[in-house]
A and B are shown apart, each in its own frame.
Chain A
Amino acid sequence: MKKLNIILSVAAALVITTYASARDQIKIVGSSTVYPYATVVAEKFGKSGKFKTPVIESTGTGGGMKLFCAGVGTNHPDITNASRAIKSKEKALCEKNGVKDIVEIVVGNDGISFAHSVKAKDANFTKEQLWRALAHDVDVNGKLVANPYKKWSDIDKSLPNKAIKIMVPPPTSGTRDAWNSLVMGKGCSKAAKDAFKAAGKKAKKACAKLREDGLAIEAGENDTLIVNKLSADPDMFGLFGYSYLIANKDKIKATAVNGVKPSLKGIQDYSYPIARPLFFYVKKAHIGVVPGIHEYLKEFTANKTMGPKGYLTDIGLVPLSSDKYKTTRTSALKLTTIKAN
């Protein structure tokens, strides 16, 4: 029984001591698209020896924002990665929980690739065709109906006579958000938008609703799994960040969208139609409390990291154009905070 008492008190002591321990390690949460870049920077940052390597958790953009905005204090993360800009709703949540000063850093650009197996024939789609293949409701002959297209050739005669099979990321993913606004929103036909409005729905939301008949397959955040599925089935398409395309180019290739294939330059100047900026957000209140945050920002925004020849470009990050880079670098150095709502 004495032994039991000792063991119990040791366990209790362990629990209590944690209350007192301060954190000396940066904590980062957020987007799985920014995760590969952030981890590389964190590792280099840790190897430079002055600070501990930041701990990074991939939670998806939405999940990261929720954790980030939950409050100030060492139990909350210092930085959240995002594959889209912070929403006003999230800003309000942050504000409510006392997270007032937020620094926004634009990391670079990413192109969402609509890709398939290298064994398949090259393909080209317009945004409207992609929307028609994925939407829940589409307009046929001026009338709004549940998506009737089973094959690509049903949408347009020029497209292959093959079944529509598309793997899409889950709703919590920033890739999905970006896809919704860049493809589902912009590709949505005018007739459908009008019909949605006439029915009293918000066009933006209704256009982005995915079909639920099993042809749009919702995959997890596991992009490697999507790559394997695509390489096994040449008729299947999937969408993910540019870095996965680069890392797996012996297995998958990108289709052209509006006649443009994703390329470094095309994504940088947004001539590739599904390109988007990537971000991370920093809690200013934590700078000086958790050691190394400002230095991490400097490392991340250094020219050798995210510049045109920086090491992040090797793994697929598309660098910012030089004027945008200057703005980002300045806000990292001066810790410029973003405006509240």
Chain B
Amino acid sequence: MNKELRRKKRYQAEKRFQVYGIIAISLALFFVGLLVFKVFSEGTSAFSRTMIKVPITFNAEKLGITNINDNDEVENADYYTLVYEQFVKNYPYSNDEEEKQIIKLLSPDYEFEAKNYFLQNRNQLNKTVTLLFTASDDFDQLHKGNFPRDIPEERRRLSNYQLNIYDQFLKEGKIEKIFNNYLFSKGDSRDPELAGFGGAILGSLFTILICLLISFPIALSAAVYLEEFAPKNKLTDLIEININNLAAVPSIVFGLLGLGVLLNVFELPRSTALVGGITLSLMTLPRIIIPARASLKAVPPSIREGALAVGASKVQTVFHHVVPLAMPGTLSGTIIGLAQALGETAPLLLIGMVAFVVELPGSPMDPSASLPVQVYLWSESAERGFVEKTSATIMMLLGFLIVMNSLAVYARQKFEKKWN
């Protein structure tokens, strides 16, 4: 084989390798793009809510209010019948079945929506105002174009009669799309149009806070002791190996630990962010210790020697000089560890954080869901409206992760000292 040919072959090999690399990267990008596209195309519609405009007269007699200043009376007035009667008037019906079909176009929360408006606008008694009521899930999905109309009636969620009402309402301009604030302010609900991930966000925040409070100080002390004070012997080597192994233990194992120890032995309350946070902190510990040790190691010995030379004690050296310099690396490690904990579902399933929780949690001791678990719960629900809600929750979760990861990058780049 002559030289020329061999060189050509080597060049070809290099070219081939580059092509493989480009193919691998574009494949990876393609799949990420596909995922993001699917999530966004399904999820964006969840950020709007379909409303129906209905003129409502707050008739004192119908409400049963005799004295507008009597809070008890205003609170307990019959808003249900008031809205019901005035809403079904919007379209002609000939029997009970059709009447039922009309009222089903409204979300079951209409009485509370009317009540909340009236409580703030008491001067509207006996006056007529046009209110926006949340439309039912089926109506909402129809308006967003997620329900096919051209299939036989018995297989549709909405009857021909209801479709006619929709068409007429649309023509009369009674349908409006608004920003879905419920999505952020409400907890779970069985009516997709009333469900929100507000409870899940709070649950996630509490969980992460508990996780941070527990894992960060312990991990930092462990890392400082192991790196700066502990003697190097077989025992500390063994501990080091175990910490590294612990970081690779599947998260579900920590869930079992949480179930067995925290719930069964310590009898902490099930389904709470407290237990979730403690369980996740066990998982996060080694993931903080490792980067913390690495950044302590990266602080040059001259810093320590300088401090010791001017008479500082070992503890002063470590806490006044070494730890502050190692902080950027430790912090970014912590944030990435927490971001992983935020996206974790498996351990939370075992400690019961998969519950249906309507009320927003007020403290880590209240039962709550978390964002990834909310994705899991909604993906299981039968109602069609939860499909877009699931994707919207994934978008929210991705947003949180991106923010946390950029924080980590920022912490590293802004505060890190270069030693050259």
- A, B: real partners: yes
Asked if A39 meets B190 with Cβ closer than 8 Å, knowing A1-B319, A8-B217, A249-B155, the reply is: yes
CB distance from A253 to the nearest CB of B (A): 8
Of all chain A residues, the one with the shortest Cβ separation from B383 is A247
Q: Is A136 located at the chain interface by the 8 A CB criterion? A: no
Contact A4 B217 (CB under 8 A): yes
For the complex with contacts A118-B155, A222-B380, 7 further pairs of A-B residues with Cβ separation under 8 Å are A4-B221, A11-B210, A53-B357, A57-B356, A58-B354, A225-B379, A249-B157
Contact B148 A250 (CB under 8 A): yes
Closest chain A residue to B358 by CB distance? Answer: A53
B151: chain A residues within 8 A (beta carbon): 250
Query: CA A118 – CA B355 in complex, angstroms?
Result: 33
**B271–A57 contact, CB under 8 A?**
yes
The answer to the question of B372 belonging to the interface, with a C-beta cut-off of 8 Å to chain A, is no
Question: Would you call A91 an interface residue if the criterion is a C-beta within 8 Å of the partner chain's C-beta atoms?
Answer: no
Q: Contacting chain A: which of B42-50, B176-184, B262-270, B396-404? A: B262-270
**A228–B355 Cα gap in the complex (Å)?**
24
- From B156, B189, B216, B383, give the contact of A43 (CB < 8 A): B189
A55 touches B271 (CB 8 A): yes
Q: Contacts A7-B213, A55-B357, A57-B354: A47 and B112 contacting too (C-beta < 8 A)? A: yes
A104 lies within 8 A of chain B by Cβ: no
Contacts of A43 in B (CB 8 A): 189-191, 358
Chain A nearest CB from B339 CB (Å) reads 20
What's the minimum C-beta distance from B124 to chain A, rounded to whole angstroms?
Answer: 23
Subset of 21 A-B contacts with CB under 8 Å: A4-B217, A4-B221, A11-B210, A11-B214, A14-B210, A15-B278, A18-B274, A21-B269, A36-B381, A36-B382, A39-B356, A40-B190, A43-B190, A55-B367, A56-B355, A57-B356, A75-B269, A224-B379, A224-B382, A244-B382, A250-B148
Establish whether residues A247 and B382, one from each chain, have CB atoms under 8 Å apart when the complex forms. yes
Q: How far is the CA of A253 from the CA of B365 in the complex (A)?
A: 44
Most-contacted residue by chain B among A14, A227, A253 (CB, 10 A) = A14
Name the A residues within 8 Å of B278 (CB-CB). Answer: 15
The verdict on A250 contacting B156 (CB below 8 Å), with A14-B364, A18-B274, A57-B354 known, is yes
Q: Are the C-beta atoms of B355 and A18 separated by less than 8 Å?
A: no
B369 closest partner in A (C-beta): A55
| A213–B50 CA distance with the chains assembled, in angstroms | 48
Closest B residue by C-beta to A10? B213
Picked from B148, B213, B270, the residue with its CB within 8 Å of the CB of A27 is: B270
The answer to whether A46 and B190 have CB atoms under 8 Å apart is no
A46, B357: Cα distance in complex, Å = 11
**Separation in Å of the A213 CB from the closest CB of chain B?**
28
With a cutoff of 8 Å between Cβ atoms, the chain A residues found around residue B267 in the complex are 75
**Contact residue among A4, A35, A118 (Cβ-Cβ distance under 8 Å from B356):** A35
CA distance A7 to B218 in the complex (A): 10
Q: Which of B213, B270, B381, B382: most chain A CB closer than 10 A? A: B382
Interface string of B134-161 (1 = CB under 8 A from A): 0000000000000110010011110000
Candidates B154, B157, B268, B379; contact of A222 at CB < 8 Å: B379
- List B contacts of A265 (CB < 8 A): none
Residues of B near A21 (CB, < 8 A) are 269, 365
Question: Does B384 touch A at the CB level, under 8 Å?
Answer: yes
In the complex, which residues of chain B have a beta carbon less than 8 angstroms from the beta carbon of A249?
154-157
CB of B352 closer than 8 Å to a CB of A: yes
Over the window 192-212 of chain B, the binary record of Cβ atoms lying under 8 Å from chain A Cβ atoms (1 yes, 0 no) is: 000000000000000000100
Pairwise interchain contact B155-A46, C-beta atoms closer than 8 A: no
Question: A66: CB under 8 A from chain B?
Answer: no
Interface residues, chain B, CB within 8 Å of chain A?
A: 112, 147-148, 151, 154-157, 189-191, 210, 213-214, 216-217, 220-221, 263, 267-272, 274, 278, 319, 352, 354-359, 364-367, 379-384
Closest Cβ–Cβ distance, residue B200 to chain A (whole Å)? 14
Question: Once bound together, how far apart are the Cα atoms of A253 and B270, in whole Å?
Answer: 39
- Residues in A with CB closer than 8 Å to B263 are 75
B269 CB contacts on chain A under 8 angstroms: 18, 21, 23, 75
User: In this assembly, does A204 line the interface, its C-beta being within 8 Å of a C-beta of chain B?
Assistant: no
Using CB atoms and an 8 Å cutoff, list the residues of chain A in contact with chain B: 1, 4, 7-8, 10-11, 14-15, 17-18, 21, 23, 25, 27, 35-36, 39-40, 42-43, 46-47, 52-53, 55-58, 75, 118, 221-225, 227, 243-244, 247-250, 253
**B355 close to A55 (CB less than 8 A):** yes
Chain B residues positioned under 8 Å from A247 (CB to CB): 382-384
Contacting residues, chain A, for B191 (C-beta < 8 A): 43
- Residues on B with C-beta less than 8 A from A253 are 155
Q: Which residue of B lies closest to A248 (CB)?
A: B382
A247–B381 alpha-carbon span in the complex (Å): 10
A75 engages B274 (CB within 8 Å): no
Contact A250 B190 (CB under 8 A): no
B128, chain A: closest CB distance, angstroms: 27
User: For residue A46, which residues in chain B have a CB less than 8 angstroms away from its CB?
Assistant: 358-359
* In the complex, chain A residues whose CB is within 8 Å of the CB of B367: 25, 27, 55
With the chains together, A53 CA to B364 CA distance in Å?
17
Shortest Cβ distance from A121 into chain B, in angstroms? 15
| Minimum-distance CB pairs A-B, first 7 | A247-B382, A53-B358, A56-B356, A57-B355, A55-B367, A55-B355, A40-B190
Per the bound structure, the CA–CA distance linking A10 and B209 in Å amounts to 12
Q: Which of B156, B190, B274, B355 contacts A15 (CB 8 A)?
A: B274
* Alpha-carbon gap, A67 to B45, bound state (A): 39
Bound complex: CA A43 to CA B151 (Å): 33
Q: How far does the alpha carbon of A47 sit from the alpha carbon of B109 in the complex, in Å?
A: 9
Nearest to B368 among chain A residues (CB) is A55
Give the distance in Å from the alpha carbon of A17 to the alpha carbon of B363 in the complex.
12
Q: Which residues of B contact A223 (CB under 8 A)?
A: 380, 382
A224 touches B380 (CB 8 A): yes
Q: Shortest distance in angstroms between A283's beta carbon and chain B's nearest beta carbon?
A: 15
Residues on B with beta carbons closer than 8 Å to the beta carbon of A39: 190, 356
Smallest distance from the beta carbon of A58 to chain B beta carbons, Å?
7
A25 to B367, CA, bound (A): 9
B268: chain A residues within 8 A (beta carbon): 15, 18
* Inter-chain contacts of B112 with A (CB < 8 A): 47
In the bound complex, CA of A83 to CA of B19 (Å): 57
Task: Determine which residue in A8, A11, A243 has the highest number of CB atoms from chain B within 10 A of its CB, and name it.
Answer: A11
- Name the residue among B156, B190, B274 with the largest chain A CB count within 10 angstroms: B190
A163 to B355 CA separation, bound complex (whole angstroms) = 38
A57 near B352: Cβ-Cβ < 8 Å: yes
Q: Nearest A residue to B104 by beta-carbon distance?
A: A314
